[in-house]
Amino acid sequence: MMGNVCLPAGMPERELEQIDLLVKERVRLKKGDLLYRQEESLDALFGLRTGSVKTQLEDASGQVQITGFFLPGEVIGLDGMLDSLHASNAVAMEDSEVCVVKLEDIDEVSRYAPSLQGQVRRIMSKEISRSHQVLLALGSMRSEARLAAFLINLSQRLSALGYSSTDFVMRMSREEIGNYLGLTLETVSRLFSRFARDGLIRVSQREVRILDLDALKQLAGQVS
């Protein structure tokens, strides 16, 4: 069975354990590939197995807003079920692999495995909470707090996957970080430099080492 290999190693929560049984297909993506396109019809969810993916909205005037960065173990494609059309573009930020879970299979199987419904609800609810957290950041934090919160969040998610929480490589460019956080790429770059100068992090291109997590949390308004 192909399912079990689709659970990323080190995934902390067992949310996906049943959904994983539904995986009948996997898709490989190369850097820059689109997993799906805005307005395209939606009939499946995607569990990210390896790599990283971003989702972004594009409005009528071509304005782009990144709405999420996804790491292995996370589920992509939860928006757009309202009218079965994807509400965003999903782009691979590096070579990646996703597991495909057909919606009809979820419906089918959950008839005799009722707890599956709860799993799906929880996954969707998590995505809602996540975006509300980002709203909190964009709505009420200053630039340095946003970036600090971003780094802390990334650190935590990577650590949950079994990677180091202090040393990691960011898969996204300064521009993408800025877009996500509602800042310009220059502001993001300056903030990285400042954090480094103040001894909070070491940073070289996309490699980051967190030196003073407490100070970062302080900046992010999270009492440590």
Partner DNA sequence: CGTCGAATTGACTATTATCAAACTAAGTGG
Partner DNA sequence: CCACTTAGTTTGATAATAGTCAATTCGACG
- For binding to DNA (CB under 7 A), which residues are involved? 142-144, 173-175, 178, 182-190, 192-193, 203-206
Residue with smaller CB distance to a second copy, 186 or 207: 186
Cβ at position 139, least distance to DNA in Å? 9
CA distances from 25 to 13, 45, 205 (A): 22, 11, 36
Backbone φ and ψ of 91, nearest 5°: -120, 130
Q: Cβ atoms within 10 A of the Cβ of 139, count? A: 8
- CB distance 39 to 86 below 8 Å: yes
The CA distances from residue 106 to 2, 145, 160, in Å, are: 16, 40, 26
What does 26 interact with, of a second copy, DNA, none (CB < 5 to 8 A by kind)? none
Using CB under 8 A as the binding rule, whether residue 180 contacts a second copy is answered as yes
- In the window 79-138, what residues touch a second copy (CB under 8 A)? 79-82, 87-88, 106-107, 110-111, 114, 117-118, 120-122, 124-129, 131-136, 138
46 versus 180: smaller Cβ distance to DNA: 180
Complex with DNA: residue 86 or 174, whichever CB lies closer? 174
Rounded Cα–Cα distance for residues 107 and 102 (Å): 9
* Whole-number Cα distances in Å, 212 to 2, 217, 218: 42, 9, 10
In the complex, which residues of this chain contact a second copy (CB under 8 A)? 57, 59-61, 63-67, 78-82, 87-88, 106-107, 110-111, 114, 117-118, 120-122, 124-129, 131-136, 138-140, 179-182, 221-223
